[in-house]
Amino acid sequence: MADDCTHLDQVTDVTPASDGCEDCIPIGDRWVHLRVCMSCGHVGCCDSSKNKHATAHFHASAHPIIQSYEPGEDWWWCYIDETGLLVEGAPSFSHP
């Protein structure tokens, strides 16, 4: 599936910046699922969450690719190409 994405060159060696949504924690809000930005490591909540911070981070930063931060999920998503990705040999993150 990675052949459908033209933005893999923007992926860097990231470390998730938080164990929870970096934007929900300071305001005391909750999230449904978490996503990690594969350009900078920002952790944001998914679009099923009230605040949709992962997508907001994309719009603010133009970082195109996120990875699920959920246990057992290794999929990636490219916002620009609107495609899911499975990247062989990619790091697998999951929050505690």
Please give the tally of structural domains in the chain: 1
Give the CATH number for residue 19: 3.30.40.10
What gap in Å lies between CA 23 and CA 6, rounded to an integer?
A: 28
Say which residue the tokens 């690719």 belong to: 65
| pTM: predicted TM-score of the whole model, two decimal places | 0.92
Cβ proximity of 57 and 44 under 8 Å:
yes
Does residue 13 fall inside a structural domain?
yes
Query: pLDDT, tens digit, for every residue of 21-63?
Result: 999 999 999 999 999 999 999 999 999 999 999 999 999 999 9
Residue 48: Cβ within 10 Å count: 9
Domain range enclosing 53: 2-85
42 contact partners, CB below 8 Å, separation of at least 6: 17, 22, 36, 54, 57, 61, 63
Does residue 12 fall inside a structural domain?
yes
Query: pLDDT, tens digit, for every residue of 56-84?
Result: 999 999 999 999 999 988 899 999 999 99
Does residue 93 fall inside a structural domain?
no
